[in-house]
Amino acid sequence: MKKLLLLMLVVWGTTWHSKAQNQKEMIDNSNKLAVLWTSSDPEVAEKVCFMYAMNAKKQGWFDEVVLIIWGPSAKLLAENEDLQADIKKMADMGITVEACIACAKMYGVDHDLADLDIDVRPMGVPLTNYLKEGWHTLSF
């Protein structure tokens, strides 16, 4: 009986500790921002998406900022040198810049984005993880 009780306490303690760790991760991620940039409009990129992402990092509104290039924004970025310069500034500020490889390949710009030192990779799972882990998310 004592062994059974001890076993139950060990299992309960392990489960409680695991749940506590998961809750702590959620709290820690509440100061992280994932910006999903999908628009092909250069004005939305420059005057809304990039402005907010850069200020979120520069002003310390979030500890960690990730910009995800998804869909038509991939093509726009590959063709627009002004936006490319802004992406370089963001990377220099410590903003992580990632791009969806499937989207980039659809537009034939995967190598162009990689040449800009952007992490071009499958993004479905990473975006899902950002959402599930409690990151704040914005879409433009």
Check which CATH number belongs to the domain holding 80 and give it. 3.40.1260.10
Please give the residue range of the domain that contains residue 107. 31-139
Nearest to 71, CA basis, from 117, 112, 102: 102
Tokens, residue 72: 């038509």
Average pLDDT over residues 60-85: 98
What span, in angstroms and rounded, lies between the C-alpha atoms of 114 and 78? 10
pLDDT per residue over 16-65, tens digit each? 444 545 555 556 788 999 999 999 999 999 999 999 999 999 999 999 99
In this structure, the answer to whether residues 22 and 37 fall within a common structural domain is: no
Mean pLDDT (the chain) is 88
In this structure, the answer to whether residues 25 and 38 fall within a common structural domain is: no
Tokens, residue 67: 């910009």
Give residue 30's pLDDT: 87
In this structure, the answer to whether residues 92 and 129 fall within a common structural domain is: yes
In this structure, the answer to whether residues 125 and 107 fall within a common structural domain is: yes
Give the rounded distance of the alpha carbon of 13 from its chain centre: 33
In this structure, the answer to whether residues 85 and 65 fall within a common structural domain is: yes
What span, in angstroms and rounded, lies between the C-alpha atoms of 139 and 67? 10
In this structure, the answer to whether residues 14 and 62 fall within a common structural domain is: no
Tokens, residue 132: 């599930």
Q: 56: which residues sit within 8 A by CB, 6+ positions away?
A: 33, 35, 62, 65
Nearest to 116, CA basis, from 83, 72, 70, 138: 83
In this structure, the answer to whether residues 57 and 87 fall within a common structural domain is: yes
For the chain, what is the domain count?
2
Give residue 23's pLDDT: 55
Radius of gyration of the chain (CA): 20
In this structure, the answer to whether residues 65 and 107 fall within a common structural domain is: yes
In this structure, the answer to whether residues 45 and 86 fall within a common structural domain is: yes
In this structure, the answer to whether residues 25 and 36 fall within a common structural domain is: no
* 19-34 CB burial, b ≥16 within 10 A, e <16: eeeeeeeeeebeebbb
In this structure, the answer to whether residues 42 and 16 fall within a common structural domain is: no
Tokens, residue 5: 């009780």
Give residue 1's pLDDT: 56
In this structure, the answer to whether residues 72 and 14 fall within a common structural domain is: no
